[in-house]
């Protein structure tokens, strides 16, 4: 196979584009796909400060690499979830990349900030690990971005991630989540204050499949952590990816078509589905939460944290 651009020896083929690329032109192709998404969805401008959620995996490190090369002011944010050796190794990979590129990295730890790790949280609350982990990451990413004065929170969700989420939402017809599934979620303010309570969130990798970000990271010599989170076993998102990959294999372009077709032809039909309830401030932490008529509204994060810490205390008391 030959490179689509220079006709040299191709090292990567992208079946859904029916094209092969040599190393240099594949790197250029990936950068262009990111630049195209940033422009098409008005994600951010060069004078904005970006906070990039970094896991040490291929997607977030590849994206960081691309954003820096495109000249953006992108600071990394690593949240230590306390998942044994996996978290240790993914933190090391994130720090090593930041040092190598001379990029700023903020490191926080769930244990230090809140007093529990993800495995502890799962055990204490009886919730599946991915659910508690997602809740805490969303909360902490937003909090860090607001506290540190960033304009935008950037995440490394790729096309496969977004299609799997879309597929799950369609299997269950989660209309409110379908109404919010987009490559950009605008910031939200509350009341008269001009300060946002939710920072703008963007996903610049939506035009790139998992396989392509992995190839990019390999070709760029990025030392990312290959192992998957050990708690992900049986995750439904994985099954959705497997089912869709069957179809992509038989008909390249299926994932792209499903995701961008949704944005183009269906997303607007679900807009506002979840806006029945008003947003108010959590009386514990001030974060935005749905007004469900409680006297003292508390956000899901605070409720989960309180439950976990109460049970942790009860556990310690019993041991004494």
Find the part of the chain contacting a second copy (CB under 8 A) among 93-101, 205-213, 264-272, 310-318.
264-272
171 binds a second copy (CB under 8 A): yes
In Å, what is the CA distance from 36 to each residue of 33, 155, 241, 275?
Answer: 5, 16, 25, 30
Instruction: Kindly give, in sequence order, each residue whose CB lies less than 8 Å from that of residue 27, ignoring residues fewer than 6 positions away.
Output: 216, 219, 220
The size of the interface with a second copy (CB under 8 A), counted in residues, is: 25
Helix (H) or strand (E) holding 53: strand 49-53
Distance CA 53, CA 51 (A): 7
* 232 part of the interface to a second copy, by CB under 8 A: no
Minimum CB–partner distance for residue 178 and a second copy (Å): 8
Which residue in 2, 9, 36, 239 binds a second copy (CB under 8 A)?
239
DSSP summary character for residue 277 = S
- The nearer residue to a second copy, 170 or 280, going by C-beta atoms, is 170
Q: Does 170 bind a second copy (CB under 8 A)?
A: yes
Which of 89, 34, 103 is closest to 63 using CA atoms? 34
Q: Choose, by CB under 8 A, the member of 199, 240, 287, 297 that binds a second copy.
A: 240
The single residue among 47, 147, 195, 264 that binds a second copy, judged by CB under 8 A, is 264
- The CA-to-CA distance between both ends of the chain, in Å, stands at 68
Rule CB under 8 A: which of 206-225 touch a second copy?
Answer: none
Give the binding range for a second copy (CB under 8 A) out of 70-78, 87-95, 257-265, 296-304: 257-265
CA-to-CA separations, 264 to 199, 227, 319, in angstroms, rounded: 24, 35, 57
CB of 162 to a second copy, least distance (A): 14
What minimum distance in Å lies between the beta carbon of 254 and a second copy? 6
Candidates 269, 272, 275, 314: give the one binding a second copy (CB under 8 A). 269
Contact region with a second copy (CB under 8 A), list: 101-109, 147-155, 191-199, 247-255: 247-255
Q: Provide the sign of the torsion angle of the four alpha carbons 168, 197, 94, 103, taken in this order.
A: positive
Which span (65-73, 142-150, 192-200, 246-254) binds a second copy, by CB under 8 A? Answer: 246-254
Number of other residues whose CB lies within 10 A of the CB of residue 61: 29
DSSP string, 180-220: H-SSEE--EE-TT--SEEE-EEE-TTTTS-HHHHHHHHHHT
Structure tokens at 302: 């605070």
Query: Which residues touch 116 (CB under 8 Å, ≥6 apart)?
Result: 82, 110, 124, 305, 308, 309, 312
CA dist., res. 110 & res. 137, Å (int): 9
**Chosen residue from 18, 251, 278, 294 binding a second copy by CB under 8 A:** 251
CA–CA distance, 288 with 197 (Å, rounded to integer)? 6
Among 266, 272, 314, 315, binds a second copy (CB under 8 A): 266
| C-beta closer to a second copy: residue 44 or 259 | 259
- Write down the least CB distance from residue 279 to a second copy, Å: 23
Point out which span in 33-41, 106-114, 152-160, 255-263 binds a second copy (CB under 8 A).
255-263
**Choice between 157 and 241, CB closer to a second copy:** 241
The contact set with a second copy (CB under 8 A) reads: 170-173, 175, 236, 239-240, 242-244, 246-247, 250-251, 254, 257-258, 261-262, 264-266, 269-270
């Amino acid at each position: 196979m030959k490179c689509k651009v220079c006709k040299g020896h191709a090292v990567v083929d992208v079946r859904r584009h029916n094209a092969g690329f040599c190393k240099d032109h594949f790197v250029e192709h990936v950068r262009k796909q990111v630049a195209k998404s940033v422009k098409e969805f008005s994600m951010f401008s060069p004078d904005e400060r970006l906070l990039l959620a970094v896991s040490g995996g291929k997607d977030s490190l590849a994206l960081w690499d691309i954003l820096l090369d495109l000249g953006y002011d992108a600071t990394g944010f690593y949240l230590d979830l306390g998942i044994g050796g996996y978290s240790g190794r993914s933190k090391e990979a994130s720090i090593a990349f930041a040092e190598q590129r001379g990029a700023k990295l903020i490191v926080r730890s769930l244990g230090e900030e809140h007093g529990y790790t993800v495995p502890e949280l799962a055990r204490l609350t009886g919730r599946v690990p991915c659910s508690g982990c997602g809740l805490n990451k969303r909360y902490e990413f937003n909090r860090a971005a607001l506290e540190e004065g960033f304009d935008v929170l950037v995440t490394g969700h790729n096309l496969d991630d977004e299609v799997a989420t879309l597929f799950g939402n369609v299997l269950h017809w989660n209309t409110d989540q379908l109404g919010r599934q987009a490559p950009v979620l605008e910031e939200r303010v509350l009341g008269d204050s001009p300060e946002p309570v939710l920072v703008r969130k963007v996903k610049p990798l939506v035009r790139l499949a998992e396989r392509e970000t992995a190839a990019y990271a390999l070709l760029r010599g990025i030392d990312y952590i290959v192992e998957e989170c050990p708690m992900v076993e049986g995750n439904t998102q994985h099954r959705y990816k497997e089912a869709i990959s069957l179809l992509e294999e038989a008909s390249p372009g299926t994932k792209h078509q499903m995701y961008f077709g949704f944005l183009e032809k269906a997303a607007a039909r679900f807009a506002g589905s979840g806006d029945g309830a008003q947003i108010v401030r959590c009386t514990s932490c001030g974060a935005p939460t749905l007004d469900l008529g409680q006297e003292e509204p508390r956000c899901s994060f605070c409720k989960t944290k309180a439950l976990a810490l109460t049970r942790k205390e009860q556990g310690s008391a019993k041991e004494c």
